Amino acid sequence: MRIKLDYIWQPKAKGRTYTYYRRDGQRLRIAGELGSAEFFADYQRIHATFEKLSQQPATKPGSLKALITDYKTTKKYLDRAVKTKKSYLRYLSTLERDYGDLAVSTMPMPFVVALRDKYQDTPRTANGYIQVMSILMKRAKEKGWITHNPAQGVELLDTGEGHRPWDEDEIAAYRARWSLGTLERTAFELALNTGQRGGDCAAMEHIHIKDGTIAVKQLKLGGKRKRIRGKRKSTGGGRVWVPISNDLRVALNAWAARQQAWIQDRLNRKRPLPIHIDVKKMILTGEKGKAFTDGTFSHKINDASKKVPGLVVGAKIGGVTPHGLRLAAATRLFELGLSWDVIASITGHDTAEMVAYYTEQKRKAKLAIGALNAATAGTAEQTATEPVKPSL
């Protein structure tokens, strides 16, 4: 039956046709059989709801919704990386839905603190709301809506230890599980031997390899700020030239041989299969020959790590993470005798500072244990030489 109604969408799946009301980014399943009385009644109900929403008055001037709408048009927001904007939209959508009609001038610091405490069970989410509110209120101050940023100075919640560098035994265990030539091993060696973010590794191309180095255009984080030792450190994008280590050279050669064999296999079939252009352009490609994304890279390392016997995975439980490979790279460079300035030129200043802090804490822990052992050594020797008194 063909029925012409506004906003009707009828996708097909597994031989069946489903009917939805699709409008303003939403899709709602319409009850009843197509053309039945129940169907028309449910359609009219849904349609009336959307029509009522569309007739609501325009955004109130000075409201949080007006501020969010304005911020989304700023160059600073538009220049953010796609991943960053996606993260921001998560918070902006909730703020607009729950508090959009409130006037910005009626949101003092206690309001921001209450917003943080609302999500205190998930500290990273709570901190995300503080950071986004700070950005919005800074914009409101620029526009003259307020005279003080109420989010400025609100304390962030402790999120725990977070990521840590991989230990050498964990690196060895991963290598033992994933042999050279596998996608899992190649992605791992790229991150470990270049010290770059997952997104930067995913974006590496064959033309970037020249004269024993990889030219990396680091993703711009749009002024993202990390808290390190109580301070905030700005990070940004830039181009760096990373020397190719022996381990990475062996891994890339093995991967290139496997990729070439994959291409030949597809071409030599009775009915040749297409070769995606990414295979010849990008260093890392998936099973279908398509380029990696930042998310794909992280998921691949995580999934591969979980298949390594005895390897604990996840920052919350003190295990290894994809980001930890970047920290491990900086740690290895430091242990080889490179200065922090040189390490920072490869991995970025934020990573170098984080690893410097981690290394210092680890060194202090070793010194503390050494001092404790030295202090108790005499007591232990004395105890060992004391005669044992017979028990009654």
What local confidence, expressed as pLDDT, does residue 305 receive? Answer: 95
State the residue for tokens 């691949």.
300
**C-alpha separations of 170 from 40, 71, 324, 354, 383 in Å:** 61, 44, 11, 20, 38
Beta bridge partners of 335: none
pLDDT digits (tens, 9 = 90+) for 310-359: 999 988 788 999 988 988 888 777 766 767 676 776 676 566 666 665 55
pTM for this prediction: 0.57
What local confidence, expressed as pLDDT, does residue 58 receive? Answer: 65
Q: Name the helix (H) or strand (E) containing 377.
A: helix 349-385
CA nearest to 222, candidates 88, 113, 359: 88
Could you tell me how far CA 52 lies from the centroid of its own chain?
39
What local confidence, expressed as pLDDT, does residue 278 receive? Answer: 86
Q: Is the pLDDT score of 102 beyond 80?
A: yes
What band does 24 get if pLDDT is binned at 50, 70 and 90? confident
Please report, for the chain, the start and end positions of each structural domain, with discontinuous segments joined by +. Answer: 8-54, 64-142, 168-221+233-362
Question: Could you name the CATH architecture of 168-221+233-362?
Answer: Orthogonal Bundle (1.10)
Q: Which range among 129-143, 171-185, 349-363 shows the weakest confidence by mean pLDDT?
A: 349-363
